[in-house]
Structure 1
Amino acid sequence: MAVNHSEIKTSAVKASHRPLILTACMLSMFMAAVEVTIVATAMPTIIGDLGGFSLLGWVFAVYLLTQAITVPIYGRLADLYGCRKMFFIGTTLFLIGSVLCGFAPSLGWMIGFRALQGLGAGAITPIATTLIANVYGPQERAKAQGYLSSVWGVSAIVGPLMGAFIVSHFPWAVVFWVNVPIGLVAMAILIKYLPPDGQRKQHQLDLAGTACLTLSVAALLLALLQAEALGYWALALLAFAVLCGGLLVRQERKTPEPLFPLALWDSKVIIAGNIGGLIIGATMMGISAFLPTYVQGVLGGTPLQAGTTLALMSVGWPLASMFSSRMMQATSYRITAVTGALLLVAGSLALLLLSPSSGLWMARLAAFSIGAGMGLCNTTFIVSVQNSAEPAIRGIATASTLFTRMLGSAIGTAVLGATLNLNLEYRLPQVNDPVQQLMEKATRSAMDSGLLNQLTESVAASLHWVFIVSAAISVLAVAAGLLIPSGDRPHREAQRES
């Protein structure tokens, strides 16, 4: 097998430096992951200062949109021009966007600066994940990726607490500026300890394919994230996304250096990782978006109770991520992924046992089970893809898996949200926004018992159907795990990269 001299070899990085590089990558991942939750907590304060409530959704949508579009593009650029270089470019864009968000004079300007943040964040997650694959060998890679994956769970807990503390004691701009020291420390560590990218052959990015991908993903995500506001225009956007997707496939088949190299689709492991990413992304939204609604709206719980219930998913995720490396090496990728998928199914089925009279213990058990399943599945799919991909395409292979998970989250949000809305329209056609009425403490307290019981039972039944659809999606994760060839495990690839 030919040696790709442009890649960072594990032997080129001192063993004592690898934990420092891992720390830098974890810091950068935390910075990008926490951005959504920390800003969500601060938005009421920001809206109170800047106004523009009607644009609130775009503050989050534009960040996710630009991030999702650029993830696969940065993954390919990292393969062509080097991970180190692309990481610094992306992190710099993210930090500039963060600083500018703090100075935004209006919500319109903030949306523009959030788009710039997203353009940078699209590089951070896939390239940090790829860097770890480049500096750790196949056997160590699973453990390192487990630590990296756990950042998502930790950020989900820390983000809201951090946001609440900052807006209580400092100007809201600090919510964005707190990223700057974290990003600068991560960059400083990598400048000192990560070897420069080697000499690379001249390559040309597939600009036509990049344009088709950008238009297709932008149209798809806009249709999904803004379906209610767009109405029938969402169907036109979906048709445009399909058209651009078809043009992308045609372009990829004829170009000499495709954005998605054909070798990606020759590997059963990489295909399984992409399908798995799509499914677990959609499954995760069943609990992230709708379990807090059930706790507050149906069970009458407080925001704190809803938050602590959801936090158990964030506890299960890092614990399972760190355990996954041992399980992969002791058994196989397939067994680890399927075990994680079965935990997703078990947690999703537990949600079906919730009722207006049930306590919080079942909701919390479901949250922990789904979090553990996400930790096992997510880490296994990423590690198996990285270990099976040739070094020259490891960046785009990693990015494609992360991209499909983000795409799955958007699709899951749209499908499950539509399921809830259709059920509410069927059961409560004359009631305006029944979920909001139940979640507002003053409105709920003022209701007579008959109306309260009617709304509670109808919303519970509607959310029950959301959990049924979520459980059906989670079953597909088992099928994705079974696509991984039997017997493959990390130590099998050790000789290939030695």
Structure 2
Amino acid sequence: MTSTERVDSSGVGLRSERGPILLAVMLSIGLVAIDATILATAVPSVVEDLGGFSQFPWLFSIYLLAQAVSVPVYGKLADQRGRKPIMLFGVALFVLGSVLCGFAWSMPALIAFRLIQGLGAGAIQPIGMTIVGDIYSVAERAKVQGYIASVWGIASFVGPTLGGVFSDYISWRWIFFVNIPLGLAAAWVLLRRFEEKVAAKTRHQIDYAGTILLAVGGSLLLLGLLEGGVMWSWDSATSIAILAIAVLLLTAFVFVERRAPEPVLPLWVLGQRVLNSANAAALLVGVLMIGLSTYVPLFAQGVLGTSALVAGFALAAMTLGWPIAASLAGRIYLRLGYRTTMMFGAVIVVIGAALLLTVNSGSSVLYLALACFVIGVGLGFTASPSVVAAQSSVNWKSRGVVTGANMFARSVGSAVGVAVFGAVANGVVARRLGSEHGDLEKLPSNVLAPAIHDVYYGAAAAAVLLVFAVMFMPNRVAEQPRD
């Protein structure tokens, strides 16, 4: 049976019919990818119009929180109801949030509408990746993963550019309005061209208790990690209470899931070697990505003295290396296996992190970009095969949950990275100046450089841990049938 016939028997369509579906998935993921960068360059315009400078960090935190905690829920629903309705719901919710953001009249209103956007984004990325896992065989996914990764690479250039153009020449509100035609186009193609065979409808028992415990406990955990040391000190009563309640709720979640007939996040996900390795790798990828995206531009501007645009291009070197490696990774893991390919990538990440440690105030921005490019190549060889391996290890009925868990692990990694790297940087500042400094951008270069350099040590440690996480991935994973 050919891959085309196999896909057709699973109810998703022949090779010639999958192109528009892939395009719609890429367009949908592109909405989320561009939205991750487009707002950053427009913050001054937003604050000037709406006020609320002290609240603007919540525009990013609330979005990340909503996206992260909703991912596992959408993954389970996609396994129960099918991918199409959940994906369309996510796109609709994202477009609705975009419309509301565009008409926001105050900073609190904009933050609330960003919450709606985040809930939509929580469905788009994991379900989009799940659809790709459904309609393409393992061999075909090798190339398609490169296409998906290229979306993020393009977004790293397009997002900041569009954000600057809209805020300087039109209005920051068009940052959100531009999502409307793109979202509608993606939804229309999915509605018309994407057909899937879902098992005969049965009565599903919704895991309400597990969903609530995961959503609230996960939100508090991420909130504590994101805002600890920022909105409140780590040893404050607020920080301790938030993290303690989060641990209690997530512990209760584990007990509930053990007895739930259809758990929102089955505990077997935590007991399989393939999934544990893939999720551990995803968590560390999230740590590395947030470390680079936050501190590389800051180093380029504050220490090397470049413009914001040049600093953005230095970081974009990482997102350029990622899709190149992801498109090549398939040829390697099909021949040599998953663990070999991922180990190759993890070692490249370590090499890139070592290069990053040699960057100093006398380095050129091109050298900084080279280190980011090498890390991006390593991440492409590591992250893409891990997703394919995880999806291949389960059948259709569990693929949504597995993909959602992988995306959730990456989100948690980003939150952990924010907390750890922020604590490291603030610790250096405290030693140098005698107190913590809330705005790293205003620090003198002789203080900023060692603060960020210590963050790079943290990134190097995460790269080494990535090598160990990859060791547990089997070299071969038997692809499971649809049913």
TM-score range relative to shorter protein: over 0.9
Q: TM-score, normalised by structure 1?
A: 0.91
| 2:221 aligned counterpart, secondary structure | helix
Letter in 2 for 1:253: R
Q: Which runs of 5+ in 2 are unaligned?
A: 1-6
Q: Distance in 2 between matches of 1:431 and 1:246?
A: 34
Unaligned runs of 5+ in 1: 1-6, 439-454
How much has 1:430 moved relative to structure 2? 6.3
* 8 Å CA contact 1:285, 1:413 repeated in 2: yes
Aligned to 1:391: 396
Other-structure match for 1:469: 458
Q: Percent same amino acid at aligned positions?
A: 39
Residues 257-314 of structure 1, C-alpha deviation per residue, up to 9 Å, x if partnerless?
A: 1112244234211111111111111012221111111112122222222112111111
Q: Does 1:370 align with 2:375?
A: yes
Give the conservation status (yes or no) of the 8 Å contact 2:349–2:374: yes
Please provide the CA RMSD for this pair.
Answer: 1.9
* CA spacing shift, 1:8–1:256, aligned 2, 3 Å: farther
Q: CA deviation at 1:433?
A: 5.9
Q: 2: distance between equivalents of 1:266 and 1:435?
A: 41
Report the more deviating stretch, 298-307 or 332-341. 298-307
Query: Aligned equivalents of 1:271 and 1:424: distance in 2?
Result: 36
Asked if the contact 1:85/1:197 (under 8 Å) is kept, the reply is no
Q: What does residue 493 of structure 1 align with?
A: 479
CA deviations over 1:445-478 (Å, ceiling 9, x no partner):
xxxxxxxxxx433322222211111101111111
Amino acid at match of 1:355: N
Q: Distance in 2 between matches of 1:472 and 1:143?
A: 30
**How far apart, in 2, do the equivalents of 1:432 and 1:208 lie?**
41
1:29-108 equivalent positions in 2, closer than 5 A: 29-108=29-108
Change (3 A) 1:437 1:43: closer
**What does the per-residue CA deviation read over 1:410-439, in whole Å, with 9 as the maximum and x for residues that have no partner?**
10011001000011100122695684335x
Is the contact between residue 137 and residue 497 of structure 1 (CA under 8 Å) also seen in structure 2? no
Q: Which residue of 2 aligns with 1:226?
A: 227
User: What do the CA deviations read for 1:159-191 (whole angstroms, capped 9, x no partner)?
Assistant: 001111222332221110111111111111111
TM (norm. structure 2) is 0.94
Tell me how far apart the structure 1 counterparts of residues 442 and 415 of structure 2 sit (CA, whole Å). 26
* CA distance in structure 2 between the aligned counterparts of 1:275 and 1:28, rounded to whole angstroms: 26
Per-residue deviation, 1:17: 1.0
**Which residue of structure 1 aligns with residue 449 of structure 2?**
460
**Per-residue CA shift, 1:106-133, capped at 9, x if unaligned?**
1111111111111111100010110111
Change (3 A) 1:388 1:276: same
Matches within 5 A, 1:333-352: 333-352=338-357
Q: Are 2:311 and 1:311 aligned?
A: no
The CA distance in 1 between the partners of 2:249 and 2:9, in whole Å, is: 37
Residues 459 and 137 (structure 1), Cα distance of their counterparts in 2 relative to 1, 3 Å cut:
same
CA contact (8 A) 2:318 2:377 kept: yes
Aligned to 1:212: 213
Match of 2:467 among 463, 478, 482: 478
Give 1:216's aligned amino acid: G
User: Contact conserved, 1:9 with 1:134, CA < 8 A, in 2?
Assistant: no
Structure 1 counterpart of 2:358: 353
1:243-254 equivalence runs, <5 A: 243-254=248-259
Residues 196, 355 of structure 1: alpha-carbon distance in 2 compared, 3 angstrom cutoff: closer
Q: How does 1:99-498 map to 2 (within 5 A)?
A: 99-198=99-198, 199-227=200-228, 228-231=230-233, 232=236, 233-429=238-434, 435-438=440-443, 455-486=444-475, 488=476, 492-493=478-479, 496=481
Taking the aligned partners of 2:437 and 2:464, their CA distance within structure 1 comes to 34
Q: How big is each residue's C-alpha offset from its partner over 1:26-48, in whole Å with a ceiling of 9 and x where there is no partner?
A: 00000012112111112211111
Between the two proteins, the alignment pairs up a number of residues equal to 472
Contact 1:310 1:367 in 2 (8 A): yes
| TM-aligned CA deviation for residue 74 of structure 1 | 0.3
Q: Contact (CA 8 Å) 2:12, 2:194: kept in 1 or not?
A: no
Between 1:222-231 and 1:72-81, the stretch displaced more is: 222-231
Name the counterpart of 2:3.
none
CA displacement, residues 192-236 of structure 1 (integer Å, 9 cap, x when unaligned): 111155333221121111111011111111111111212211121
Shift of 1:11: 5.4
Separation in 2 of the partners of 1:182 and 1:135? 23
The 1-side partners of 2:273 and 2:197 are apart by 29
How far apart, CA to CA, are the structure 1 residues paired with 2:462 and 2:341? 19
C-alpha distance in 1, partners of 2:12/2:125? 23
2:219 alignment partner AA: A
Q: CA 1:197–1:102 in structure 2 vs 1: closer, same or farther (change >3 Å)?
A: farther
Segment of structure 1 superposing worse, 391-400 or 278-287: 278-287
